[in-house]
Amino acid sequence: MQFSVHAAKTQLSKLIDAALSGEEVVIAKGARPVVRLVPIRQSGFALGTHRGALGDVPDFLEPVEDADLDLWEGRGPAPAE
């Protein structure tokens, strides 16, 4: 279906619903089609769904032991070969 810009302004909610239901919605300036409304694919991603599945995960916001911090910053003893 094709709509003028004016019609699209007044019926935007209905046009969005039509695009979400799979209809092709085109907006035209005069007789020239210029825009197509398409739905954005929604992901099924949800935070926290694998909680506990990874085992013990370090808390990266906890303070680091001084010895570990020295190693991280290259101030510790050289690694053994």
Reported residue count of the chain is 81
| Rounded mean pLDDT, 13-29 | 95
Report the pLDDT value the prediction gives residue 76, as an integer from 0 to 100.
73
| Rounded mean pLDDT, 55-68 | 83
pTM of the model: 0.51
Contact call for residues 67 and 76 (beta carbons, < 8 A): yes
Residue labelled with tokens 């020295």:
70
Report the pLDDT value the prediction gives residue 64, as an integer from 0 to 100.
85
CA angle 16, 21, 26 (to 5 degrees): 50
DSSP 3-state assignment of 23?
coil
CA distance 75 to 47: 37
More confident residue, 61 or 21: 21
